[in-house]
């Protein structure tokens, strides 16, 4: 077993060389975007408010991260930023400590 980390290289042509760094970052950003789309799909198929809250928080965080990446054009980063704010508001709607129940829900069944 080698003592060096698998991705760390001091060689100029290594996997994390400056010329490859931008390409590696762009690939990672694309992968994060695809994973975020998968989370959005899961959100749409999940009726449970607690699960939707967790998914919306993760989606908002991913979009915020994507909005700060230089590998995307400026207009794309701004769109990611707007989507991050929208998903953050969506997460607040399903937050467990929110005082207003959704659609009446269980709150109407509790004795006064």
Q: What is the pLDDT of residues 55-98, one digit of tens each?
A: 999 999 999 999 999 999 999 999 999 999 999 999 999 888 86
More confident residue, 14 or 91: 91
| Domain tally, the chain | 1
Question: What is the structure's pLDDT at 80?
Answer: 97
Task: Please tell me the distance from the alpha carbon of residue 71 to that of residue 77, in angstroms, as a whole number.
Answer: 9
Q: Is the pTM of this model over 0.85?
A: no
23 found inside a domain: no
64 vs 18: which has the higher pLDDT? 64
Closest CA to 102 of 43, 46, 50, 58: 50
10 in any annotated domain:
no
* Structural domain for 50, as ranges: 32-95
Of the candidate ranges 11-20, 23-32, 74-83, the one whose mean pLDDT is the lowest? 11-20
Is residue 54 assigned to a domain? yes
Please report whether residue 55 resides in a domain: yes
Exposed, middle or buried by CB within 10 Å (0-12, 13-18, 19+), for 29?
Answer: middle
d(CA 30, CA 24): 10
CA pair distance 92, 52, nearest whole angstrom: 10
| Contacting residues for 4 by C-beta, under 8 A, at least 6 apart | none
């Amino acid at each position: 077993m080698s003592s060096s980390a698998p991705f760390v290289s001091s060689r100029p042509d290594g996997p994390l060389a400056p010329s490859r760094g931008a390409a590696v970052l762009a690939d990672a950003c694309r992968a994060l975007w695809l994973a975020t789309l998968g989370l959005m799909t899961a959100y749409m198929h999940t009726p449970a408010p607690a699960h939707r809250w967790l998914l919306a928080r993760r989606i908002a965080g991913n979009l915020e991260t994507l909005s700060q990446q230089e590998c995307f054009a400026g207009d794309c980063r701004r769109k990611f930023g707007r989507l991050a704010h929208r998903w953050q508001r969506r997460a607040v709607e399903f937050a467990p400590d929110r005082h207003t129940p959704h659609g009446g829900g269980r709150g109407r069944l509790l004795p006064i």
